[in-house]
Structures are given as C-alpha cells and as structure tokens.
Chains A and B, each alone.
Chain A
Amino acid sequence: MKKFFVPLFVLLGIFILVAPSFSQTKEPYMIGGHSSATGPGAFMGGPMRNGMILGAELVNAAGGIDGHPIKLVYYDDGGDPSKAVLIAKKLVEEDKIVALAGGSRSGNSLAVVPYIEKAEVPYISLGAATAITQPVKKWTFANAHTNKLATQKIIEHMVKHNIKKVGFLPDNTAYGDDAYKSFMEQKPNSIQVLVHETFGDKDTEFTPQLTKAKAAGVDAVVVWTVGPAASIIMKNAVMLGMKVPFYHTHGVAQLEYPLLAGDGANLMRMPSGKLPVADELSDKDPQKKVLSDFRREYVSRFKEEASWLGAHGTDAIWIYAAAMKRAGWPADKAKIRNEIEKTKNLVGCNGIYNITPTDHNGLAYDSMVMMKWEKGHFALAE
C-alpha cells in the first residue's frame, strides 16, 4: 500500500508547487504611480494612491487588458518636488514603466513634466493646476477638473443668482493662486471682486480676512483651499454672523469638510464631479452606474469614504487601460500616447472623457454640478 501512496503524494506535492505556474498570467503592463502620501497634502495623496490601486485591481479582475494584467508600482514623493522627479526617474529606468500617473500636488507634477517629456513616457497628472495642460505638452495629460472648469461653474451659478460683489479668499499655494487667475480671466464685468485676501493653508484664524469681506458688503465669498482651513473658515464666518453663500473648490466635495464646519456647512457651495450626488442623478445618466459601482468597490476595499480623490486615481488607470487596449501588445509608449489622444466618450468617475491633441484634459463643462449641503448630506444646488 505504502509503495503506491508515497509516490502519489510526492506527485501531488510537485503538482501543487508547480501549479501556480500553470495559471501564469501574461506579462503585465507596468504603470508607475506617485503621490504625496506623507508630508504636506498627505490627506489627498493617500486616497489618490488607493484610487490608482483600485483601478488596477478592477481592470485585472475583469481579465486585464486582453489578458495582460496591470502592475502598478507606486512610490510616495513626500510632498517634495525634487523627490517627485527622482521617483519618476526610478520608475522609468529601474521599474521600466510604460506610463506614469500621479502628482497629487500640482508643484510635484510640474517638476516631473520636463523629465517625462524628455523621457517620452505618457504621464497623466492628478494635479489641478491649469499650467499642467496649458500650454499642451506632448506626453503630459491631466484628468482633473481644472480650476478653470470649476471657476467657470461658479461664475455661472453666481450670474444665475445675481451675485455682483465678491470676496475672493485663495490660499497661498499654487492651487489658490491658479484659481484666482482663472476666476479673474473668466468673470464677466458684472461681477466685481471687491476683496482679495490670501491665507496660509495651515492657518487657524481667518477672522481678519473675513472681516474685510463682511465690511465690504459682498454678496458671496469664494474660498479656495483644501484642508482643515476650509472648514475652520466656515466656523469663523458663522461667528461673524455672515450669511452669504461661500463657494469652495471642488476639492472640498468630501464629507468631512461640511461635517467639521458646524453650522457653517449650510453656507457652503461647491462645484464637483457627480460622485457625491450620484443617487440624485437620472438613470439615463451614463455615469450613474459607474459611480455607484465605484463607490461600492472603494468603500469595501479601503473602508473609507469614496471621494473624488480616489475616483481621480481610478480614472487615470481606466484611461490608460482603454488606450493600452487599443494600442495592443507589446506595450509601446508612443502608441499608448497616441491612443490616449483618441479617447472618446470614456465614462469615468470624474466625467466623460474626450481627449484630443489640443485638449489633454478631456473633461467637459457638464461633467461638473453645483452642490450644497443640506440636512447632513450633499445635494444638487439649484
């Protein structure tokens, strides 16, 4: 008996050891990712990283790109632009990626751009600064709602509500600065910016700036920052007895901001991708299903709020996956780049992407809605 079973077990053992190689998948597409998961802006970099990871996993779960899985190699750039460039070099030359996504902070993306253009690797930046895609550079794309788009949405809402006198309070980072520029370039003459005051994104006291806005009698205030300041400013505003609408950046379309803003939350308005109000969308909206599915997957995978930050990262991977599928195997950076420029009607979380050689962002005006906070949740603002 023994003579029979022992070789059988040995064969079984060998089979078990060797079996994984039977399910050997095809070679992966190497995609590089970087964001600021630590350091300044860490609260954004982490979820963006998670979004990229989820995007790759979802694509792989659906069979990859014609059987080839995506392998995401991610490094944290710590909020330092020099490190971001270093990481880009590491990813391109050591990890041999064929495409890069990331740069949660605009400054980090901007630092990487010169290198990535020289290295001729496609780059989808997650930053929102207009300067990333304007002027258009050959290899660099950005799938964020730009400040230009967001401020445009705000202006439209202001005109609709007859708002004429505005106080603009941007933070002193590239993000705030860029938004102010966009707002000033796009606003009609009927809107006057009476007060323009900046603040530090780590400040805790905003009474002086708000007092000036209140004293000038503005009809609305625009606040441009992400981070605790956005909530604290609303608390300060309530303490000053201000009742005008406060327009924020699309970056603030996350539950924690209104939740921490106390009574001030009711004054908040923000342009946003459709994710937070997905349930209110009409069933005919092609984004509705994508958003609900995304939200479900993200929450179950990461046990945290599925916000636009994660969606951002996921979209970037989806854009690559679609382009890579069209470009075929073996992975060719130039072919992938060309295919990205042919992206049409790709339903993502941020919106429906239509990328062209002159528009490396791909998001249209209607990818955003105006939201407010009502009875403890986000809602569409009329």
Chain B
Amino acid sequence: MAFETQLLQYVIAGLTLGSVYAIVALGYSMVYNATKVINFAQGEFVMLGGLVTIFLYSKLHLPLLLCILVTIPIVSFIGILIERLTIAPANVGGQDREKVVVILIMITIGVSEFLRGGAMLLWGKDPLGLPAFSGEKPVVLLKATFNPQILWVIGITLLMVIIIRFFLTHTILGKAMRGSSDNQILARLMGIDIKLMSMASFALSAASGSMGGILITPMTLMSYDGGLMLGLKGFCAGVIGGFGNVTGAIVGGFVLGLLETLGAGLISSSYKDAIAFLTLLLILRFKPTGILGAKAILRA
C-alpha cells in the first residue's frame, strides 16, 4: 500500500472521529454559552441517542427513520428534565456565578453516573448495534477505502453545525441564548427568560448529541458506558477549538480526531491519546482560549 494511500486512510479515519468529537464539543458549547455550566453528562446524550434508537428498532421493530425521529425528542426531553431537576434547583440566585459553577459541574458528573447506571440496568452491559444507513459496501477514494456510514456522519455533523450557527446568530431565541450567559441580571432586564434559555440549551445539546450517537452506532456499536470517553475527548476538542465557540467546536473536533489517527499511524498507536492530550496542554500554554477563541483574560 502506497504511503499516500495510508495517509489518506488516516485522514479519513481522523475526520470520522473528529465529527463525533465535534458533535460532543458542540453540545458543551451550547450549554456553556447559555449557562456557563460545563455539562459533563454530554457524552451520555450520545450514548442515549444510540441506545434508545436500538430499543425502538430492535424491540419495537419500527422502521429506522421513525426510530431516529422519535429518539431525538425523547433524548431532548431527558436533557430538559436534567436541567429542571438538577441544575435549576441548585442554581441559587444571587450567588456569585463562578462559585456556583463548580457545584453545577459536579452535579452534571453525578447525573452522568446516574444515566450510565440506569442505562446499564435497562440495556445490559453488552454492546449493541444498528444497521448501516446505506449498506456496508466500502466506498473507494483514490485507492483508500472507507465505510459509507462515514459520509453520513461527516455530512450530518456539518449540516448540524451550519444550522446551529445560523440559529445562534440570526434568530432571536439564539441571540437571547448567547446573551443570557454573559450577564444574567442584564439579560433579565432585557426581557430574556433565563429559565427558558437554560432549558433550550440543554434540549438543543441533547438533541444534537443524540443525533451523533445515532450516526456512529452502526459503525462503533454502543453500550451503557460508550459516553464516557466521548464526553472527555469532546470536552478536549471544545477546549482546543475554543470553548463556547460553535465553529471552534468543529475545528477542535477535527483537529483532535486527526491528531489521534495521524499520531497512531505515523508516530505510535500506544501513545495516541497522550498526543491528543498533549496538544490540549500546548494549547492551554500558548493560546488558552483555543484556536478560534478570544484572547484570554489575564487576572490582575
């Protein structure tokens, strides 16, 4: 196999992984933008997207498209439930946001464990799968071959990013969401319903996360703990690209994915995760707000 072909394989694999990381990073961004909370249960939305679809498809035998259309609202609803039941009550108004944020982050960690434990009981501990959207015949590109599902993953991810970006910058609701995190008091004065913003951001991030899960499950299978690593790496992708920045989420995702596969292919597969996290550290050292982020705010 020629070296160029090998390289192309690594790149394709990297873009695939990158799309998934990007989706997760996107979810983090949206919640962070609206509430300044880092929702560590983000990976679990991806997991639920995959598993709920599997349930509808394998147990209720619904057609695949219908399963997808039903799963996304279900997981979005779970996202809203989480926000209402755990974030909102803990959010004691008036307290300094920064101090509360740490507690809120811990709560999301508790929620992610709860969701994982619940998924383990409902779906068991074994991995489960979904059929590929358009068959299993490998696609050939310049002598490199890849899974056709990858086209769905990358394609729909980019589509979601474009839609969400448009939503956040060109619609009233989206702009309100961005405004509400910067200064809650001012936002309220402007007539923005903080509660709604918070719920909406969770719903959106759950929806996009679950779509991600549905997209990758045909390729990578899904189990109750599939969200763990994704949540972590997605978080890194977000930091690399610029936390809270929607385009940054995509850039960060692809950068992380490519680093991982190129690192595995060209340097060492044992250390591929180390390479990815090392990049994170370098970014933090030299441009902490990420590739597309604003300038870092130095303390006094």
The reply on A266 being an interface residue by CB < 8 A is no
Residue of A nearest to B271 (CB): A198
Choose from A172, A215, A238 the contact partner of B138 (Cβ within 8 Å): A238
Chain B residues positioned under 8 Å from A337 (CB to CB): none
Binds B, one of A154-162, A206-214, A271-279: A206-214
Check if B129 sits within 8 Å of A260, measured CB to CB. yes
The reply on A28 being an interface residue by CB < 8 A is no
Check if B228 sits within 8 Å of A202, measured CB to CB. yes
Check if B269 sits within 8 Å of A199, measured CB to CB. yes
Check if A208 sits within 8 Å of B264, measured CB to CB. yes
Residue of A nearest to B273 (CB): A200
Residue of B nearest to A43 (CB): B125
Q: How many residue-residue contacts, CB under 8 A, span A and B?
A: 92
Chain B residues positioned under 8 Å from A198 (CB to CB): 269-270
The reply on B112 being an interface residue by CB < 8 A is no
Binds B, one of A133-141, A184-192, A225-233, A313-321: A225-233
**How many B residues touch the partner, as a band?**
35 or more
Check if B145 sits within 8 Å of A228, measured CB to CB. no
Interface of A is mostly: helix
Check if B127 sits within 8 Å of A260, measured CB to CB. yes
Check if A215 sits within 8 Å of B1, measured CB to CB. yes
Q: How far is B223's CA from A40's CA once the two chains are assembled, in angstroms?
A: 12
A211-B9, A235-B147, A238-B136 are known contacts. Are A202 and B127 too (CB-CB below 8 A)? Answer: no
Q: How far is B252's CA from A268's CA once the two chains are assembled, in angstroms?
A: 36
Check if A239 sits within 8 Å of B265, measured CB to CB. no
Tell me the residues in window 250-267 of chain A with beta carbons closer than 8 Å to chain B beta carbons: 256, 260, 262-263
Chain B residues positioned under 8 Å from A200 (CB to CB): 273
Check if B219 sits within 8 Å of A204, measured CB to CB. yes
**How many A residues touch the partner, as a band?**
20 to 34
Check if A212 sits within 8 Å of B265, measured CB to CB. yes
The reply on B216 being an interface residue by CB < 8 A is yes
Q: How far is B9's CA from A285's CA once the two chains are assembled, in angstroms?
A: 48
The reply on B33 being an interface residue by CB < 8 A is no
The reply on A197 being an interface residue by CB < 8 A is yes
The distance from the CB of A186 to the nearest CB of chain B, in whole angstroms, is 23
The reply on B168 being an interface residue by CB < 8 A is no
Check if A215 sits within 8 Å of B127, measured CB to CB. no
Tell me the residues in window 248-299 of chain B with beta carbons closer than 8 Å to chain A beta carbons: 260-262, 264-265, 269-270, 272-273
A42-B120, A214-B1, A232-B221 are known contacts. Are A207 and B261 too (CB-CB below 8 A)? Answer: yes
Check if A209 sits within 8 Å of B264, measured CB to CB. yes
Chain A residues positioned under 8 Å from B229 (CB to CB): 202
Q: How far is B136's CA from A236's CA once the two chains are assembled, in angstroms?
A: 11
A208-B264, A241-B138 are known contacts. Are A172 and B228 too (CB-CB below 8 A)? Answer: no
The distance from the CB of A192 to the nearest CB of chain B, in whole angstroms, is 19
The reply on A205 being an interface residue by CB < 8 A is yes
The reply on A46 being an interface residue by CB < 8 A is yes
Q: How far is B263's CA from A198's CA once the two chains are assembled, in angstroms?
A: 13
The reply on B13 being an interface residue by CB < 8 A is yes
Q: How far is B221's CA from A43's CA once the two chains are assembled, in angstroms?
A: 15
A208-B10, A208-B261 are known contacts. Are A228 and B223 too (CB-CB below 8 A)? Answer: yes
The reply on A38 being an interface residue by CB < 8 A is yes
Residue of B nearest to A232 (CB): B220
A212-B265, A214-B1, A235-B219 are known contacts. Are A204 and B17 too (CB-CB below 8 A)? Answer: yes
Choose from B225, B261, B270 the contact partner of A205 (Cβ within 8 Å): B261
Q: How far is B270's CA from A208's CA once the two chains are assembled, in angstroms?
A: 11
Chain B residues positioned under 8 Å from A207 (CB to CB): 9-10, 12-13, 146, 261
The distance from the CB of B153 to the nearest CB of chain A, in whole angstroms, is 11
The reply on A240 being an interface residue by CB < 8 A is yes
Q: How far is B265's CA from A286's CA once the two chains are assembled, in angstroms?
A: 48
Chain A residues positioned under 8 Å from B1 (CB to CB): 211, 214-215
The reply on B126 being an interface residue by CB < 8 A is yes
Chain B residues positioned under 8 Å from A231 (CB to CB): 127, 221
Check if B138 sits within 8 Å of A227, measured CB to CB. no
- Can you show 25 pairs from A to B with CB atoms below 8 A apart? A43-B125, A43-B126, A172-B270, A197-B270, A199-B269, A202-B229, A204-B20, A205-B17, A205-B260, A207-B10, A208-B10, A208-B261, A208-B269, A208-B272, A211-B9, A228-B127, A232-B219, A232-B221, A235-B219, A239-B145, A240-B138, A241-B138, A260-B129, A260-B221, A262-B136
Nearest first, the 6 A-B pairs at minimum CB distance are A204-B220, A228-B127, A208-B265, A208-B264, A207-B13, A43-B125
A residues bordering B, Cβ < 8 Å?
Answer: 38, 40, 42-43, 46, 172, 197-200, 202, 204-205, 207-209, 211-212, 214-215, 227-228, 231-232, 235-236, 238-241, 256, 260, 262-263
